[in-house]
Amino acid sequence: MSATLNTILSQFVLLPTSLLITLVIGCVLLYKRCNRSALCLLVASIGGLSVLSMPFTAQRLVQSLEIYPAVSPAMLAKAQAIVVLGGGINPDQPEYAADVLNATSLERVRYAAFLYREHELPILVTGGNPGGGEAEGWVMKRALEGLFNVPVHWLETQSINTAENAQFSWKILGKQGITTIALVTHATHMPRAKQVFEQAGFTVIPAPTGFHNVETKGVMNFIPQANSLGLSNLALKEWVGRLWYWARKTVDVRGDKQ
C-alpha cells in the first residue's frame, strides 16, 4: 500500500473525518425519514465530538500511551547509539528557502542533541519522504549539525513509516554489531516504535520526549476545546497504528503456518 493511500485511508477512522462522515450519514437518513437511525448517528457524532474535545478525555487517552518515563543516565549508559525518528517536515519555507523540520521533528532532534551532550553516543537519523520532496533524514541531519553542532554518524532516508524506520535502521546498525539503542521519539509514539524496533532485532532503551503532563483542573476539564480534540486525535492515531501493526503481524504469522 502506498504512503499516500495509507494516509488517505487512515483519515477515515481519525478525527474529524470519521465524525463528519457519521454526521453526514445521519443527515441523509433524516432526509430519507429514517428518523430513529438518523437520531442515533447524529447523537453519536455530536456526542463523540463533545467528549473527545474535553481535556479530561484527551488527557486520559494520551496517558494511556505515555507509559515510558524519561530515560535515566544509568539506562542511557547501556546504549551503543541513539536513533532519532523523523516526525515530518515543513516543505519550501520561504524564510529559509529550504525544507525545515516541523515542530514534532524539531522536538525530537533537540532532545537527541541534549542526550548527545550528556553521553556523546553516535546518532542515526531515520526518515524518508512519504509526502515527496526532501527526505526527513537529510533535514534532521542538517538541523543537528547546523543548529546544534551535533554530528550525525548514520543517515537513513528510504523509510516511509515507523516499521520501515526500524527495518532500515537495523540494516545499517546491525551489520556493525550495534544492537542496543536509545530510541528517541515522542512519548505517545514510543509504545508503537519500541515494538517494531524490537521486532527488527534491537534491544530498545526508550528515550521519549514531548510529554503531555499539564493537567487541566476544575470545570474546564469538561468544556470542549480545540487543542484537546487534537490531542485525542493524536492518541487515536497511535492506537489505530498499533492495531494495524498487530493485525499485520497476525496475518504474517498465520501465513507462515500455512
SS3 per residue for the chain:
CCHHHHHHHHHCCCCCHHHHHHHHHHHHHHHCCCHHHHHHHHHHHHHHHHHHCCHHHHHHHHHCCCCCCCCCHHHHCCCCEEEEECCCEEEEECCCCEEEECHHHHHHHHHHHHHHHHHCCCEEEECCCCCCCCCHHHHHHHHHHHCCCCCCCEEECCCCCHHHHHHHHHHHHHHHCCCEEEEEEECCCHHHHHHHHHHHCCEEEEEEECCCCCCCCHHHHHCCCHHHHHHHHHHHHHHHHHHHHHHHHHHHHHHHHC
**pLDDT, tens digit, 9 for 90 and up, residues 113-134:** 999 999 999 999 999 987 777 9
Q: Which CATH number is 73-209's, of 3.40.720.10, 3.55.50.30, 3.40.50.620, 3.30.565.10?
A: 3.40.50.620
**pLDDT, tens digit, 9 for 90 and up, residues 53-111:** 999 999 999 999 999 999 999 999 999 999 999 999 999 999 999 999 999 999 999 99
Q: Calculate mean pLDDT across residues 171-177.
A: 96
| Amino acid 7: pLDDT | 56
Share of the chain above pLDDT 70, in %: 89
Mean pLDDT estimate for the chain: 88
Q: Indicate the pTM of the whole model.
A: 0.86
Domain map of the chain by residue range? 10-52, 73-209
| Amino acid 55: pLDDT | 93
